[in-house]
């Protein structure tokens, strides 16, 4: 009996096992070449949860992680501590070796790649004295980050970081002249960085490589729908265009002008326009385009006209009503011109302004009271205007973050023949001064360049005087001043002053008051005070002086 029941039990078990195999198969069957596999395999594929979806699978990394027998966390902590110790003790060989071991242990930890690549490129490189050694560590950090992108191929952060390293570290360091030259000449680096297919020499510029990496990071976001996390979309998506702008600037600084420079700026301009047309998520979640500012402003104007049409006279009525409710003190304070108000009067005037402010909601409310049939339309228009206002606010904010107008204007005017020639002349002037010591030629070229710059500023009135371009021009003025000094002249000399057409730019950018004396002399020639204000003709001091002068006159009488 027992034997039979035992047999039955076993049979039931086997049957249950077989039955359970079916759902197990449906759930867990692995994917093959021609079969998507079970639900889990499909879900894994859809949500890209498989390890192979992250990037390269390295057998060495897998082995070492398994070999730690679950003590990976401890091993990693020890290695981080060792890396810090090696860094402290300036043992760069072992520091790098430790980073490589860590990379094997935590290849999918994005912050690790960013932090340690930064360490190599920014912190270790500056510890070395020889510029070639420095460059070699800059490159090692970049390589390290590149290695990280292999393990995490679709990570926009790492790709964008790579763009930053290649662009900004090489192109903006104090040693950027040497770094840029070495970057182009380093055949071995170019080969390994581009997986054996180095780009042609003219495309090896660090800013162009940086632009490509940024574009790659954006394509990951666009095509693979990866998130940029906490990064600000306004700066993230501007990066390729900024790299192109930096490239255009850099080649001009190296003396490359003409068609190549024009084409570089044209390309920058196009990228900047594309950037403006890109739909980006704002901080409030609304999707905005930086180029749409005009469109929304027109739309708002149109709606406002419609709104005014259904609320004729209501705004004025509301203002009148509220004005009537203002206290006597407030009315007195408002009557005093703003520049003459004391603190209390200013506060009262502010309160009055707040009380007098009439919002669209207030008007819509009054419309509803007065013309109930138009209430719905007024509310609808109010909401729409508020929505557009919000959008305009966000666009303006983001345009400010990206300095959108400036770069748009800049990429436009830099392509013009005048701007290109102006830069070329300034470069030639500097060469004539530093290389050939031809002072007269240098002066003439600088002056020609400044005349062209004045034309550019006139043609682009939206270009602010105190922009980066203004700073560039002050750099030219610095060089020009050096030339003048050698000729025993100064910007303050009347002859030079009258020829110099960029006083406004110089004044706007002389934050350090380097040209204070020259500017003061120039202002005095124009009949202004040293600071550029109209000379005071206020009567008060005259009254004082007559009082003082009066007794002096008496003895004469």
Among positions 12, 57, 177, 526, the unique one binding another protein when judged by CB under 8 A: 177
Q: Which helix (H) or strand (E) holds 84?
A: helix 72-88
In the complex, minimum distance from the CB of residue 138 to another protein, in angstroms, rounded to a whole number: 14
Cβ–Cβ contacts within 10 Å for residue 48, how many?
A: 13
Cβ-based nearer residue to another protein, 186 or 497: 186
100 is an interface residue for another protein by CB under 8 A: yes
Cβ-based nearer residue to another protein, 110 or 128: 128
In the complex, minimum distance from the CB of residue 126 to another protein, in angstroms, rounded to a whole number: 10
Q: Where are the alpha helices (DSSP H) in 414-467?
A: 417-434, 439-459
130 is an interface residue for another protein by CB under 8 A: yes
DSSP secondary-structure letter at 285? S
Among positions 89, 172, 370, 434, the unique one binding another protein when judged by CB under 8 A: 89
72 is an interface residue for another protein by CB under 8 A: no
Among positions 5, 93, 230, 338, the unique one binding another protein when judged by CB under 8 A: 93
| Alpha carbon distances (Å) from 137 to 118, 492, 554 | 10, 48, 85
153 is an interface residue for another protein by CB under 8 A: no
63 is an interface residue for another protein by CB under 8 A: yes
Cβ-based nearer residue to another protein, 68 or 304: 68
Q: How large is the angle between the packed helices 110-118 and 92-105, nearest 10 degrees?
A: 170
Q: Which helix (H) or strand (E) holds 96?
A: helix 92-105
Site string for another protein, 187-206 (x = CB under 8 A): -x------------------
How many residues sit in the footprint of another protein (CB under 8 A)? Answer: 27
CB 330 within 8 A of CB 349: yes
In the complex, minimum distance from the CB of residue 178 to another protein, in angstroms, rounded to a whole number: 6
* Contact stretch for another protein (CB under 8 A) within 130-138, 314-322, 439-447, 486-494: 130-138
Distance CA(408)–CA(467), nearest Å, equals: 13
* Contact stretch for another protein (CB under 8 A) within 85-93, 315-323, 342-350, 473-481: 85-93
* Contact stretch for another protein (CB under 8 A) within 128-136, 216-224, 464-472, 522-530: 128-136
Q: Which bin fits 90, alpha (ψ -120 to 50), beta or left (φ > 0)?
A: left
461 CA to centre of own chain: 23
Cβ-based nearer residue to another protein, 191 or 281: 191
Distance CA(401)–CA(121), nearest Å, equals: 27
Cβ-based nearer residue to another protein, 130 or 547: 130
Spell out the residues 6+ positions from residue 81 whose beta carbon is closer than 8 angstroms to its own: none
Among positions 94, 232, 397, 524, the unique one binding another protein when judged by CB under 8 A: 94
Cβ-based nearer residue to another protein, 88 or 513: 88
389 is an interface residue for another protein by CB under 8 A: no
| SS3 of residue 261 by DSSP | helix
88 is an interface residue for another protein by CB under 8 A: yes
31 is an interface residue for another protein by CB under 8 A: no
Spell out the residues 6+ positions from residue 505 whose beta carbon is closer than 8 angstroms to its own: 453, 457, 465, 470, 473, 474
225 is an interface residue for another protein by CB under 8 A: no
CB 518 within 8 A of CB 494: no
DSSP notation for 324-385? HHS-HHHHHHHHS-GGG--HHHHHHHHHHHHHH---HHHHHHHHHHH-GGGHHHHHHHHHHH
Distance CA(398)–CA(392), nearest Å, equals: 10
* Contact stretch for another protein (CB under 8 A) within 173-181, 297-305, 359-367, 542-550: 173-181
Cβ-based nearer residue to another protein, 82 or 262: 82
Among positions 55, 65, 76, 96, the unique one binding another protein when judged by CB under 8 A: 96
* Contact stretch for another protein (CB under 8 A) within 91-99, 154-162, 282-290, 374-382: 91-99
CB 474 within 8 A of CB 505: yes
* Contact stretch for another protein (CB under 8 A) within 127-135, 283-291, 486-494, 498-506: 127-135
Among positions 133, 390, 482, 497, the unique one binding another protein when judged by CB under 8 A: 133
The Cα diameter of the chain in Å comes to 152
Cβ-based nearer residue to another protein, 189 or 480: 189
Distance CA(545)–CA(504), nearest Å, equals: 35
Least Cα distance to 87 among 101, 98, 72 occurs for 98
In the complex, minimum distance from the CB of residue 61 to another protein, in angstroms, rounded to a whole number: 9
Among positions 45, 72, 82, 104, the unique one binding another protein when judged by CB under 8 A: 104
Among positions 174, 353, 361, 549, the unique one binding another protein when judged by CB under 8 A: 174
Cβ-based nearer residue to another protein, 131 or 256: 131
- The alpha carbons of the chain give a radius of gyration, in whole angstroms, of 35
Contacting residues toward another protein, per CB under 8 A: 59-60, 63-64, 88-94, 96-97, 100-101, 104, 128-131, 133, 136, 174-175, 177-178, 188
């Amino acid at each position: 009996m027992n034997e039979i029941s035992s047999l039955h039990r076993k049979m039931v078990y086997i049957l249950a096992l077989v039955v359970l195999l079916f759902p197990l198969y449906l759930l867990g069957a692995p994917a093959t070449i021609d079969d998507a596999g079970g639900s889990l395999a499909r879900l894994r594929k859809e949500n890209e949860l498989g390890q192979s979806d992250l990037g390269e699978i390295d057998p060495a990394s897998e082995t070492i992680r398994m070999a730690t027998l679950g003590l990976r966390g401890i091993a990693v902590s020890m290695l981080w501590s060792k890396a810090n110790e090696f860094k402290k003790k300036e043992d760069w060989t072992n520091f790098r070796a430790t980073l490589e071991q860590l990379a094997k242990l935590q290849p999918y930890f994005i912050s690790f790649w960013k932090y340690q690549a930064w360490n190599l490129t920014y912190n270790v490189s500056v510890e070395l004295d020889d510029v070639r050694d420095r460059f070699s560590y800059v490159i090692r950090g970049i390589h390290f980050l590149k290695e990280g992108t292999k393990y995490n191929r679709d990570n926009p952060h790492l790709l964008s970081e790579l763009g930053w390293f290649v662009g900004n570290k090489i192109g903006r360091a104090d040693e950027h002249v040497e770094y840029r030259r070495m970057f182009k000449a380093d055949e071995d680096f170019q080969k390994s960085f581009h997986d054996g297919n180095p780009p042609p020499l003219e495309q090896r510029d660090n800013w162009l490589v940086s632009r490509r990496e940024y574009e790659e990071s954006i394509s990951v976001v666009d095509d693979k729908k990866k998130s940029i996390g906490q990064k600000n979309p306004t700066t993230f998506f501007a990066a390729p265009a900024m790299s192109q702008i930096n490239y255009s600037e850099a080649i001009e600084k190296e003396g490359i002008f003409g068609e190549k420079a024009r084409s570089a700026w044209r390309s920058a301009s196009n990228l900047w326009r594309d950037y403006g047309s890109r739909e980006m998520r704002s901080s409030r979640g609304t999707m905005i385009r930086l180029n749409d500012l005009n469109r929304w402003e027109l739309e708002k104007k149109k709606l406002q006209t419609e709104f005014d049409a259904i609320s004729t006279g209501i705004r004025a009525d509301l203002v009148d009503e509220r004005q009537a409710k203002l206290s006597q003190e407030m009315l007195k304070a408002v009557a005093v011109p703003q520049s003459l108000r004391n603190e209390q009067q200013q506060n009262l005037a502010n309160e009055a302004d707040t009380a007098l402010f009439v919002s669209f909601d207030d008007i819509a409310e009054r419309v509803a009271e007065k013309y109930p049939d138009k209430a719905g339309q007024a509310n609808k228009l109010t909401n729409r205007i508020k929505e557009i206002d919000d959008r305009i606010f966000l666009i303006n904010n983001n345009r400010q973050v990206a300095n959108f107008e400036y770069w748009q204007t800049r990429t436009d005017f830099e392509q013009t023949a005048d701007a290109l020639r102006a830069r070329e002349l300034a470069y030639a002037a500097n060469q004539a001064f530093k290389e050939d010591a031809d002072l007269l030629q240098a002066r003439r070229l600088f002056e020609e360049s400044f005349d062209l710059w004045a034309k550019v500023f006139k043609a682009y009135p939206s270009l602010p005087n105190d922009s980066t371009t203004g700073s560039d021009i002050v750099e030219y003025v610095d060089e020009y001043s050096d030339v003048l000094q050698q000729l025993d002249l100064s910007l303050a000399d009347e002859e030079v002053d009258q020829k110099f057409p960029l006083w406004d730019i110089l004044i706007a950018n002389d934050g350090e008051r380097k040209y204070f004396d020259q500017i003061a002399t120039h202002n005095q020639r124009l009949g202004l005070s040293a600071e550029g204000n109209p000379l005071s003709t206020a009567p008060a001091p005259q009254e004082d002086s007559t009082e003082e002068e009066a007794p002096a006159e008496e003895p004469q009488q």
